[in-house]
Structure 1
Amino acid sequence: MSNNRRLFWSIVDKIEALINSGMYPPGSRLPPERELAETFNVSRPTIREAIIALEVRVKVVVKTGSGVYVLKQVKQSDSPEKVNAFEVTQARALIEGEIAAIAATTINEDELNRLHQTLVDMEKGNSVEAADKEFHYIIANATRNNAMILSVKNLWDLRSSTPQIIEDYDSVCSADNSKTLSEHKAIYQALKSGDATKARSAMHKHFNRLINALFDAAESRALAEITRKNNEKRGLYSIPNTTSSIG
């Protein structure tokens, strides 16, 4: 991430934190652009971009000729989508990391062979999602712990519980099959060697990469939306458009 983008998002996060803290309650107006630029020691264009990002996040609304106003924040409990892709992935990392560690000491030869077959299927591009799912299920079943097996099933079901989670996962999984395959191979080798520490670490690395990919995808979508809004406003306030409408 470039320094400019890192600075831009840091300002977004700082203003959002102030809103969440109650310094700027719902209905209140944010300080003028110039004042915010001085407060955070950044340029006014950076503040402008940050405000648009906060609009995309539904934190503020810009009222032309009046200012930027803070919107009422929707509580998580009020939302029909109580779980997001990041939460699902973090939970899977924690739970499946320990499952992999246990499975390293309990997995049998037949399960290792089936596990290897999922790698072959993924490499050939045969039903990649099904092979991915089977890979994780085999490892969970190898623990001989029904609670852990059920946990993995429930977490996998959450992957398709809302349109947003499905979209988030599709945006990264379909593009990173080679990386997923490489990570699965590392997990498989750790399980085959019976090394619980390596199995846990390999599983954590797998999900850590997925979480970062989800953040990258979310950031790309946010920036695309910001660009779209900027283009709309650029057209609205451009001098040729303004003068033509007057004429």
Structure 2
Amino acid sequence: MPIQTVEPQRLYRQIAEQLRQLMNSGEFAVGSRLPAERDLAVQLGVSRPSVREALIALEVEGMIEVRTGSGIYVQSTTPLKNKAGAAQSDASAEWGPLEVMSARILVEAEVAALAAQNAQKKDLQAIRNGLQKMKLEAARDEVPRWGDEAFHEGIAQACGNGVLLDTVQRFWQARNGPLFERLGDYFEHPASWQAAIAEHQAVLDAIEARDSTGARKAMQKHLKQAHKRYSASWRRAPAR
């Protein structure tokens, strides 16, 4: 069964499904190495980030094993049932991590700008508390996951728009899923945590200064850098 071109607008799950079919048909046998991410992207006619999301989904399902510096190997032709979406039952379970990051760049930049205009004292304190929690988690050599969520939700609360708050909360529902968690295993590490904390501090400083333009730019910069970190080469992904 030859590899077929995947239309660019399709999500990573369609790519993962085609790779599953190739494994099931014996095109890629258990123990064999898959083509490199770059080669898969060319053969499938999609971007490398889309291929990466598909590979992460297959890894979460137990079908492949990613060996940093060596390659991607077929581990099983049978996915572990419902593991990739077990924690989520709504549409956000279908969202690819890098797609979510791209959406956050657009939406949360404006949320931060509104927060700079509308934040009350209690909102500012909630945002500060989120950042402080990030710092404490990082100091314990933990992924600063909960402080990160509290920080961004505090900004969304401060923006004064319930629809935008719900939207940001949906982003974090997706962020809690196993695909994001596995991606973080490869690309989150103490140096990236410290970079993220510094970027969050810049966002907070602009909001406290009531600088809407500065808050928008600081949030854009932070989320673009986060997207860049998640898009790094597998080979450069530091071991945890």
Same fold (TM over 0.5): yes
Alignment partner of 1:216: what SS?
coil
Structure 1 position 158, deviation (Å)? 0.9
What aligned pairs does 1:213-228 form with structure 2 within 5 A after superposition? 213-218=229-234, 220=236
1:177 matched to 2:193 = yes
Instruction: Identify if the C-alpha distance between structure 1 residues 59 and 190 changes in structure 2 by more than 3 Å, giving closer, same or farther.
Output: same
Q: Match of 1:151?
A: 167
Alignment partner of 1:194: what SS?
coil
Q: What is the aligned counterpart of 2:121 among 109, 113, 120?
A: 109
Q: Match of 1:38?
A: none
Structure 1 position 103, deviation (Å)? 0.6
Q: What is the aligned counterpart of 1:135 among 151, 158, 182?
A: 151
Structure 1 position 120, deviation (Å)? 2.4
Runs of 4+, deviation exceeding 3 Å: 18-21, 51-60, 217-221
- Whether the aligned pair in 2 keeps the contact of 1:172 and 1:217 (CA below 8 Å) is no
Structure 1 position 112, deviation (Å)? 1.4
The normalised TM-score by structure 2 is 0.57
The whole-number CA distance in structure 2 between the counterparts of 1:212 and 1:108 is 32
* Larger of the two Rg values belongs to structure: 1
The whole-number CA distance in structure 1 between the counterparts of 2:37 and 2:157 is 44
Count matched residues. Answer: 160
Structure 1 position 111, deviation (Å)? 1.7
Structure 1 position 140, deviation (Å)? 0.2
Please give the per-residue CA displacement for 1:97-146, whole angstroms capped at 9, x wherever unaligned: 00001110000122212222222222233672111100000100011211
Instruction: Identify if the C-alpha distance between structure 1 residues 168 and 53 changes in structure 2 by more than 3 Å, giving closer, same or farther.
Output: closer
Instruction: Identify if the C-alpha distance between structure 1 residues 216 and 110 changes in structure 2 by more than 3 Å, giving closer, same or farther.
Output: same
**Greater helix share, structure number:** 1
The whole-number CA distance in structure 2 between the counterparts of 1:120 and 1:54 is 39
**Which AA in structure 2 matches 1:96?**
E
What aligned pairs does 1:19-168 form with structure 2 within 5 A after superposition? 52-53=36-37, 59=43, 82-124=94-136, 125=139, 128-161=144-177, 163-168=178-183
The whole-number CA distance in structure 1 between the counterparts of 2:216 and 2:42 is 38
Cα RMSD of the aligned pairs, angstroms, is: 3.3
The whole-number CA distance in structure 2 between the counterparts of 1:142 and 1:108 is 7
Gaps of 5+ in 1: 1-15, 22-50, 61-73, 75-79, 222-247
Structure 1 position 93, deviation (Å)? 1.1
Structure 1 position 195, deviation (Å)? 0.6
The whole-number CA distance in structure 1 between the counterparts of 2:145 and 2:37 is 33
How high is the sequence identity, in percent, across the aligned residues?
25
Instruction: Identify if the C-alpha distance between structure 1 residues 54 and 139 changes in structure 2 by more than 3 Å, giving closer, same or farther.
Output: closer
Please give the per-residue CA displacement for 1:46-104, whole angstroms capped at 9, x wherever unaligned: xxxxx6556655948xxxxxxxxxxxxx9xxxxx9742111010111111000001110
Q: Match of 1:24?
A: none
Instruction: Identify if the C-alpha distance between structure 1 residues 218 and 195 changes in structure 2 by more than 3 Å, giving closer, same or farther.
Output: same
The whole-number CA distance in structure 1 between the counterparts of 2:186 and 2:131 is 21
Gaps of 5+ in 2: 8-34, 45-53, 55-84, 86-92
Q: Match of 1:228?
A: none
- Whether the aligned pair in 1 keeps the contact of 2:132 and 2:147 (CA below 8 Å) is no
- Whether the aligned pair in 1 keeps the contact of 2:97 and 2:180 (CA below 8 Å) is yes
